[in-house]
Amino acid sequence: MRIRLEKVIDALPAGLEALRAEARGGGYKMLDTLAAEWESGATRFDRPGEALFAAYTDGVLSGIGGLTQEPTMAGALRMRRFYIALAHRRTGIGRALAEALLRQAGQHPVTCNAAAGSERFWEALGFVPDRRDGRTHLLAR
């Protein structure tokens, strides 16, 4: 299995519709929000420190995730729209994607709002529980 990470700049990646449908089927709307905010221009992951990465496994879109500026904490960034396809979980793709985003964040603190059941994933990356201002976890640097 080959993992390739690609920064999303001009257009959302091909294959996103399948991920959106899967996420929606699991009760998650974060990729619908991603698509709507991208289309409207509200969030393009293009402000200082921000980035959106697509993860591919053997050429197929298997995950996506981004960083935006954290509105409730000056100088911090927030993990956003992080989703890994069910068939590709527990294969290292999520970790590779998260680590690329954390490298992008440099020394800035990073927050996330961990979906139920994903808390251990974020904590294994160094995040600690911090339930306030719409977040569940914080990685202080």
pLDDT in tens, 83-96: 999 999 999 999 99
Q: Tell me: pLDDT of 1 over 80.
A: no
pLDDT in tens, 23-36: 999 999 999 999 99
Total domains in the fold of the chain: 1
**Mean per-residue pLDDT of the chain:** 96
Residue 28: C-alpha distances to residues 36, 79, 141 (Å)? 14, 15, 29
Q: Is residue 118 part of a domain?
A: no
Q: Tell me: pLDDT of 11 over 80.
A: yes
Q: Is residue 128 part of a domain?
A: no
**Contact in structure between 54 and 63 (CB atoms under 8 Å):** yes
Q: How far apart are CA 57 and CA 13, in angstroms?
A: 13
At residue 128, the 3 state secondary structure works out as: strand
Which contiguous run of DSSP H or E holds residue 36?
helix 30-40
Q: Is residue 29 part of a domain?
A: yes
Residue span of the structural domain in which 8 resides? 3-111
Q: Is residue 69 part of a domain?
A: yes
Q: How far apart are CA 47 and CA 43, in angstroms?
A: 9
Per-residue pLDDT band for 141 (boundaries 50, 70, 90) equals confident
Q: Is residue 46 part of a domain?
A: yes
pLDDT of residue 16: 97
Q: Is residue 127 part of a domain?
A: no
CA nearest 52: which of 111, 11, 106? 11
What CATH number does residue 76 fall under?
3.40.630.30
Q: Tell me: pLDDT of 106 over 90.
A: yes
Q: Tell me: pLDDT of 116 over 80.
A: yes
Q: Is residue 8 part of a domain?
A: yes
pTM of the entire predicted model? 0.94
Q: Is residue 140 part of a domain?
A: no
